[in-house]
Amino acid sequence: MTRNALVAPPTLDPRAIQDLMARVDAAFPPGRGRLVGFIASGDGEGTSSVAQAYARGVATHLRRRVLLLDAGSPSIQPPAGGVGSLVGMLTALAVQRSNLPPASGGGGAFVEGTPEGISLWQLLPRTELWYALRDGYDEIVIDMPSAARSRLGLAVAPYCDGVAVVIEAERTRAPVVENLVAHLRTVRARVLGAVMNRRRFHLPAPIYRLL
């Protein structure tokens, strides 16, 4: 894991984010609709902060059309301003195709054209929606719920081109991270490496940059 680490200090220094972007680009060539996921073994490790900083960096510095999606949000509202929920985005694409699965309540109810009771679990296997998702953006960043909270993150991971594991420095135990990586590989997700979040500098940061 250490050799593949993508280090991001607690302040999410722009240079660290640029390094993260460069390392992700090195893992596979950038292309239309590339999906990059971020996941942690437990809650509170900063997955959302890292995903947001990465998405912002890609949009600002690489001038790509970026969509940031929260896989853990239950909202089925379509994304706005390049940010939204994964189920909301996939639902919007399914509505466009007038081809929604039955709602979990069995009725397939609609309120002002928006389906109720649709879950991400129902939409995940719809490969045509994932192809459509890639069409409108250069890069889609997916903030996935931790493995401790839900199995949803592991279910989404195989649909990404690559997944980075977020680790809180000096807190997350190595066996826990290794277990998460093993599960990701079991579901055939491509693991890009680890993002070391909230790294504590016991020496002044400028000294570290000289080392």
- Whole-number Å distance between alpha carbons of 1 and 4: 5
Which pLDDT score, from 0 to 100, does residue 151 have?
Answer: 92
Question: Which amino acid, 101?
Answer: P
Tens digit of each residue's pLDDT (9 = 90 or more) over 147-166: 888 899 999 999 999 999 98
Sheet holding 139-143, edge to edge: 5-7, 191-197, 162-168, 34-40, 139-143, 66-70, 83-85
- Whole-number Å distance between alpha carbons of 68 and 52: 7
SS3 101: coil
DSSP for 17-77 reads HHHHHHHHHHHS---TTEEEEEEESSTTSSHHHHHHHHHHHHHHHS---EEEEETT----S
Say which residues have a Cβ less than 8 Å from residue 54's Cβ, sequence separation at least 6. 17, 20, 21, 24, 36, 38, 141
Tens digit of each residue's pLDDT (9 = 90 or more) over 168-200: 765 667 788 888 999 999 999 999 888 877 554
